[in-house]
């Protein structure tokens, strides 16, 4: 124990005062914001882990794309698959067109109903509500009501 006491006394007073100040400020900082600092460090750690996983996956995808783009066999297979898909879609479209043409042919070949079975419609015996010369803009042909322009000047009151 005496050695520790001797060691403290041999240190300069300025250094021990600085350590006490540092201990007081860090202690008060941790006492006030300790939980926030802890949770912030945990969030920072989790974010770094997630970003590193995504960065590794991105690098792997880039390497896979670079490797597949270089291989001519993969390019040829991809082009053949694309051509086969286009051919299949074109065949389906052609089949639909043929079905539609056949349907139109059948509609054109069906006999139309004879005109003797169709009964002509009778004209109604109702008379029109207004005469043929009725024009609401001019007031012609109307009954007792006709349009007249309003009075000029200020309104009465």
Angle at 24 between CA 19 and CA 25, to 5 degrees: 100
Mean pLDDT across 30-43: 94
Is residue 44 situated within a structural domain?
no
Is residue 81 situated within a structural domain?
yes
pTM over 0.85: no
**For residue 134, pLDDT beyond 80:** no
Is residue 1 situated within a structural domain?
no
Indicate the number of domains in the chain: 1
Question: Which tops the pLDDT comparison, 8 or 106?
Answer: 106
Predicted pLDDT of residue 65: 81
Is residue 93 situated within a structural domain?
yes
Is residue 76 situated within a structural domain?
yes
What 3-state DSSP class applies to 140? strand
Is residue 10 situated within a structural domain?
no
Task: Give the separation between CA 70 and CA 109, rounded to whole angstroms.
Answer: 59
Mean pLDDT across 3-11: 57
Predicted pLDDT of residue 95: 97
Is residue 122 situated within a structural domain?
no
Q: What domain range is 76 assigned to?
A: 71-108
Query: H-type helices in 71-133, by residue range?
Result: 72-109
Mean pLDDT across 26-51: 94
Is residue 19 situated within a structural domain?
no
**For residue 140, pLDDT beyond 80:** no
Predicted pLDDT of residue 1: 47
Torsions phi, psi for 140 (to 5 deg): -75, 145
């Amino acid at each position: 124990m005496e050695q520790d006491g001797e060691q403290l006394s041999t240190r300069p007073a300025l250094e021990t005062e600085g350590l006490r100040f540092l201990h007081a400020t860090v202690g008060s900082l941790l006492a006030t914001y300790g939980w926030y600092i802890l949770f912030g460090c945990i969030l920072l750690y989790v974010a770094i882990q997630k970003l590193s996983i995504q960065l590794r996956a991105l690098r792997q995808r880039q390497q896979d794309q670079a490797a597949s783009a270089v291989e001519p066999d993969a390019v040829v297979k991809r082009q053949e698959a694309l051509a086969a898909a286009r051919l299949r879609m074109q065949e389906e479209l052609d089949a639909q067109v043929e079905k539609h043409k056949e349907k139109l042919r059948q509609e054109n070949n069906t006999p139309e109903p004879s005109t003797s079975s169709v009964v002509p419609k009778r004209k109604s015996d109702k008379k029109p509500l207004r005469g043929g010369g009725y024009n609401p803009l001019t007031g012609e042909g109307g009954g007792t009501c006709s349009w007249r322009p309003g009075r000029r000047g200020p309104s009465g009151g």
